[in-house]
């Protein structure tokens, strides 16, 4: 969690706030575009989703500038002459427009109030689990017979999900949680995960987008080459007028490995003198 | 390429905690780096003319941003040399609390985390 006025960073963040997150990185000479590579498959014929996946970490707008003397500018840097390359569309071409959940009229005032009081009301500002779908695509996937393991290395901490793939139903004996209870199956080459039994201590996205414990989330992960497209549908009919689909997220296979989880310790909130905050690209 | 922590970009504004119109220039030794989210913190021991040491607590960027830039905890620590830090002071008046906009090491190399030129006023 972070960021505003880091010089021009604020504007940069705001400018891209509604854009799909796209992992950066120019191609090396002779390197094949990630999305054009054939999808590897496991012995059961399903796409191989194993690996560490770079989803941009929500900081695509950070473009460090490095100098020969070892200096690095992370934010507030002088403008560079060349603009960053345009973001390519998702490999499949499916790009849902960015949007905000459509709340029932009687809840609009609550959303507005939470938005106004975000610095005191947003759970992630206190290092809480962002919950689904705000946590985004997994950072690592371990695909084992009968189950998937999703690992997350979030600014709020490290989280994980075990997703049975053997056809079992949802559990009925678990407490509500941030990431819910998940079961998965394949629809063709798309991994579909059904999640329910959430708590109501997370937001769908920025700006006061609360949800209830009755929320139902469906994730679809589709590998194209070395890229995973992650799409989500949120149903929460008590408060939403219609199902909500946040923007598609893209994760690119990387050879990097996850680092040891970093502790999340807020030391700022008690020092704030106003409620200003900045846009949230996710 | 770092794939670590997803940065939840819903946070308070920097200007809501620190006075970005004022840049303090501090000289001291980095005595500790707290490699944590949502912000890295460094402790800077600043010695005054009488020899008294005051430790400044300086907020920095999230870990994911530092990693993306290739800046590590060891790099921030330096080698125990005296460094110069440009910092924004806390708006609530907390003593020795600031945001580290820039840290410069004895050989001249530096890491910049915010634009430390005072913003124009009156707009």
At residue A78, the pLDDT reads 77
At residue B12, the pLDDT reads 66
Contacts of B12 in chain A (CB under 8 A): 4, 119, 125, 268-269, 272, 275-277
d(CA B123, CA B117): 16
Query: Are B114 and A206 within 8 A, CB to CB?
Result: no
Contacts of B107 in chain A (CB under 8 A): 69-70
Among A5, A10, A124, select the one facing B10 at the smallest CB separation. A124
At residue A65, the pLDDT reads 93
ipTM of the complex: 0.84
CATH placement of domain B23-67+80-106: 2.40.50.140
Higher-pLDDT residue of A79, B41: B41
Query: Are A6 and B34 within 8 A, CB to CB?
Result: no
Query: Are A153 and B6 within 8 A, CB to CB?
Result: yes
**Nearest CA distance, A168 vs chain B (angstrom):** 31
**Nearest CA distance, B26 vs chain A (angstrom):** 19
At residue A5, the pLDDT reads 33
Q: Which residue of A has its CA nearest to B57?
A: A267
| pLDDT tens by residue, B60-92 | 999 989 988 999 999 999 989 999 999 999 999
Beta bridge partners of A234: A217, A244
pLDDT in tens, chain A (282 residues): 333 333 333 333 333 232 333 443 344 455 556 667 899 999 999 999 999 999 877 777 788 899 999 999 998 887 765 555 555 556 665 554 558 999 999 999 999 999 988 888 999 888 999 999 999 999 999 999 999 999 999 989 999 999 999 999 999 999 999 999 999 999 999 999 999 999 999 999 988 999 999 999 999 999 999 999 999 999 999 999 999 999 899 999 999 899 888 999 888 888 888 777 655 555
At residue A68, the pLDDT reads 95
Higher-pLDDT residue of B27, A93: B27
At residue A27, the pLDDT reads 46
Query: Which pLDDT band holds residue B33 (cuts at 50, 70, 90)?
Result: very high
**Among all chains, which residue has been given the structure tokens 């090396």?**
A28
C-alpha atoms less than 13 angstroms from C-alpha of A7 in its C-beta half-sphere: 20
At residue B102, the pLDDT reads 96
At residue A119, the pLDDT reads 85
**Nearest CA distance, A187 vs chain B (angstrom):** 28
Query: Are B16 and A272 within 8 A, CB to CB?
Result: yes
Q: Which residue of B has its CA nearest to A266?
A: B38
What is the average pLDDT score of chain B? 86
Query: Are B91 and A58 within 8 A, CB to CB?
Result: no
Contacts of B67 in chain A (CB under 8 A): 259
d(CA A57, CA B61): 14
Instruction: For chain B, give the percent of residues with pLDDT over 70.
Output: 85
- Give how far the C-alpha of residue B16 lies from the chain's centroid of Cα atoms, to the nearest Å: 16
At residue B117, the pLDDT reads 63
At residue A90, the pLDDT reads 62
**Nearest CA distance, B50 vs chain A (angstrom):** 30
At residue A17, the pLDDT reads 31
Query: Are A273 and B94 within 8 A, CB to CB?
Result: no
Reported in sequence order, the residue ranges of chain A that DSSP labels E, i.e. its strands, are: 51-54, 65-66, 72-73, 140-144, 147-154, 157-164, 181-187, 190-196, 203-205, 209-210, 216-224, 227-235, 249-254
At residue A235, the pLDDT reads 98
Q: Can you say whether the dihedral through the CA atoms of A191, A194, A198, A203 is positive or negative?
A: positive
């Amino acid at each position: 969690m972070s960021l505003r006025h880091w010089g021009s960073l604020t504007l940069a963040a705001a400018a891209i706030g509604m854009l799909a997150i796209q992992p950066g990185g120019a191609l090396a000479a002779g390197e094949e575009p990630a999305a054009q590579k054939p999808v590897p498959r496991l012995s059961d014929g399903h796409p191989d989703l194993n690996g560490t996946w770079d989803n941009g970490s929500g900081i695509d707008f950070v473009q460090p500038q490095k100098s020969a003397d070892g200096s690095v500018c992370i934010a507030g840097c002088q403008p560079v002459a060349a603009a960053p390359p345009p973001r390519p569309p998702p490999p499949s071409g499916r790009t849902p427009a960015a949007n905000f959940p459509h709340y029932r009229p009687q809840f609009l005032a609550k959303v507005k109030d939470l938005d106004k009081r975000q610095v005191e009301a947003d759970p992630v500002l206190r290092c809480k689990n962002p919950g689904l779908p705000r946590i985004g695509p997994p950072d690592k996937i371990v695909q084992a017979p009968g189950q998937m393991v999703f690992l997350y290395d979030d600014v709020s901490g490290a989280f994980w999900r075990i997703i049975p793939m053997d056809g079992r139903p949802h559990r009925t004996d678990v407490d509500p949680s941030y990431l819910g209870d998940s079961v998965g199956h394949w629809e063709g080459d798309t991994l579909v995960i059904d999640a329910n039994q959430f708590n109501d201590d997370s937001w769908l996205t920025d700006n006061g987008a609360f949800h209830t414990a009755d929320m139902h989330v469906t994730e679809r992960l589709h590998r194209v080459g070395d890229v995973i497209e992650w799409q989500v549908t949120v149903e929460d009919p008590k408060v939403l007028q219609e199902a909500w689909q946040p923007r598609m997220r893209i994760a690119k296979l990387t050879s990097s490995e996850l680092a040891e989880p970093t502790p999340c310790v807020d030391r700022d909130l008690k020092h704030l003198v106003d409620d200003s905050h900045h846009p949230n690209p996710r | 390429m770092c794939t670590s922590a997803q940065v939840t970009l819903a946070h308070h504004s920097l200007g809501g905690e620190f006075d970005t119109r004022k840049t303090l220039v501090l000289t001291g030794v980095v005595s500790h780096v707290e490699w944590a989210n949502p912000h890295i913190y460094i402790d800077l021991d600043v010695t005054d003319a009488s020899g008294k040491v005051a430790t400044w607590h300086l907020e920095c960027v999230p870990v994911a941003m530092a990693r993306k830039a290739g800046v590590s905890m060891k790099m921030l620590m330096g080698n125990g040399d005296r460094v110069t830090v440009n910092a924004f002071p806390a708006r609530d008046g907390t003593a020795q609390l600031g945001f580290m906009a820039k840290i410069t090491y004895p050989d001249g190399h530096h890491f910049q985390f915010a634009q430390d030129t005072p913003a124009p006023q009156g707009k």
